[in-house]
């Protein structure tokens, strides 16, 4: 009620017109790859009864989250790259911030669940079927979405209650917590530490859990050097690549005081654009079952 700013101006990635056209072409191709690649994975997994294991069920959900995550920022970014005045209404900015953290945190939790699934399959294979039942998988996915919603609503409420009465230029190509709260007309020391402890700690804890899970897997594979375990190791290697590309930039952006360090919008490109592009490539090109099912489809 006490906010006087009705719209924000997004500064984007570049002011040069020629570079904006080049970036538009690149990000348009990347967004198209994300949509087509992840939709193909979803259709393939849903249509092939052979891909009914928990790993592919979770992969299908990851593809859906990737589509949602990149659709929160990419369409707006593509429009702004061709627009001279890059403005976004206050309400639209808060909505983008909410959905970005909603699907982003849900993806973090889902990647953690996928690491637990691989741990159960490789380290405790005799109990895997009983442990990762279809009902339990649905419960885990629902918990991921619920955790993402809880995280996002906290971030949004902490942001929306701040007074915005002065500068309205956001040094980024989308609305996110660090660049937005810098524009508040009040002391944000407590707020930024609450947000950093929320987003930053979630990213760090999930990443540490993932590293621990894959460490146990590597130890198990060293003991059992059979063909099946080497195949499992190859699968886990692709997971580690996705995890590293997604989590490290998030930890770098959110686990620090927002007002002290400048927002690095170029680092944000890694987890909003490159990570969703890598997922369909890694999970299809390194997985024989999925490639075979795609050819049959």
Structure confidence by residue, pLDDT tens digits, 67-118: 999 999 999 999 988 888 888 999 999 999 999 999 999 999 999 998 888 8
Note whether 70 and 273 are within 8 A (CB): yes
Tokens of 215: 């460490």
Q: Residue range 200-218: average pLDDT?
A: 87
CA distance 100 to 94: 10
| CA-closest candidate to residue 112, choices 207, 198, 197, 42 | 207
Task: Please return the burial class of 295, using the count of CB atoms within 10 Å of its CB with bins 0-12, 13-18 and 19+.
Answer: exposed
Separation between Cα atoms, residue 256 and residue 11, nearest integer Å: 23
The model scores a pTM over 0.75 = yes
Let me know if domain 7-295 sits in CATH 1.20.1070.10. yes
DSSP 276: H
Cα angle: 256, vertex 257, 258; to 5 degrees: 105
Q: What is residue 8's three-state secondary structure?
A: strand
Sequence-ordered list of residues with C-beta below 8 angstroms from that of 117, at least 6 positions apart, any chain: 54, 55, 58, 132
pLDDT in tens, 133-188: 889 999 999 999 999 999 999 999 989 988 888 788 888 889 988 888 888 888 88
pLDDT on residue 139: 95
Alpha-carbon span 76 to 198, nearest angstrom: 26
């Amino acid at each position: 009620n006490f906010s006087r700013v009705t719209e924000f101006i997004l500064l984007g990635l570049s002011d040069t017109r020629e570079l904006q056209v080049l970036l538009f072409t690149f990000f348009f191709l990347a967004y198209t790859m994300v949509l087509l690649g992840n939709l193909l994975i979803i259709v393939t997994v849903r249509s092939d009864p052979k891909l009914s294991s928990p790993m592919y069920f979770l992969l299908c959900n990851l593809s859906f989250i990737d589509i949602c995550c990149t659709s929160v920022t990419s369409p707006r970014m593509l429009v702004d790259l061709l627009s001279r005045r890059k403005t976004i209404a206050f309400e639209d900015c808060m909505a983008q911030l909410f959905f970005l953290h909603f699907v982003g945190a849900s993806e973090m939790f889902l990647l953690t669940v996928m690491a637990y699934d691989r741990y159960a399959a490789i380290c405790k294979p005799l109990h895997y079927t009983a442990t990762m039942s279809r009902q339990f998988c649905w419960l885990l996915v629902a918990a991921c979405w619920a955790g993402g919603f809880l995280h996002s609503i906290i971030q949004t409420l902490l942001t929306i209650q701040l007074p915005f009465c002065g500068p309205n230029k956001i040094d980024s190509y989308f609305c996110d917590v660090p660049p937005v709260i810098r524009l508040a007309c009040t002391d944000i020391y407590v707020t930024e530490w609450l947000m950093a402890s929320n987003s930053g700690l979630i990213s760090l804890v999930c990443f540490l859990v993932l590293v621990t899970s894959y460490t146990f897997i590597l130890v198990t594979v060293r003991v059992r050097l059979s063909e099946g375990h080497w195949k499992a190791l190859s699968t886990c290697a692709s997971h580690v690549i996705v995890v590293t590309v997604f989590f490290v930039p998030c930890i770098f952006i959110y686990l620090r005081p927002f007002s002290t360090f400048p927002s690095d919008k170029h680092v944000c490109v890694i987890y909003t654009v490159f990570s969703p592009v890598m997922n369909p490539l890694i999970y299809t090109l390194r997985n024989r079952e999925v490639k075979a099912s795609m050819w049959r489809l």
